Amino acid sequence: MHELIRRFVGAANAFDVETALALFAPDAVIDDVSVGDSFVGTAGVRDYLQRFFVGYHTVSKILLVEAMGKRRAVVRLDFTGDFGHETGMLDISINAEGLIVSIDADLD
């Protein structure tokens, strides 16, 4: 799980949407309370990455990963970009194949 998280953050920081998308199940959901919306499936995840990572030049630094079992982890992150500086968390769940099926995201 730690390696998957590292790969996701690395791809997002490189604005490599295709590499990041390859880490998600086709029916994955990102629910981001801070933007008040959910992003469903490959098209939704692509939209989320394009808008909030590429669009804002967001760079994330992993502060803490807390395993919540074999298929879930809560990740604390430091975000910087065109919006300034924020901290927040991603609650990430994966399926049996090791692909991300859900992310609940929120800024502090």
Angle at 1 between CA 98 and CA 51, to 5 degrees: 80
pLDDT band at 21 (very low <50, low <70, confident <90, very high): very high
CB 58, CB 87: distance < 8 Å: no
**What is d(CA 88, CA 76) in angstroms, rounded to the nearest whole number?**
6
Q: What is the pTM of this model?
A: 0.95
Q: Tell me what pLDDT residue 53 has.
A: 96
CA distance 107 to 30: 14
Q: What is the pLDDT of residues 28-71, one digit of tens each?
A: 999 999 999 999 999 999 999 999 999 999 999 999 999 999 99
- In whole angstroms, give the CA distance from residue 71 to residue 98: 8
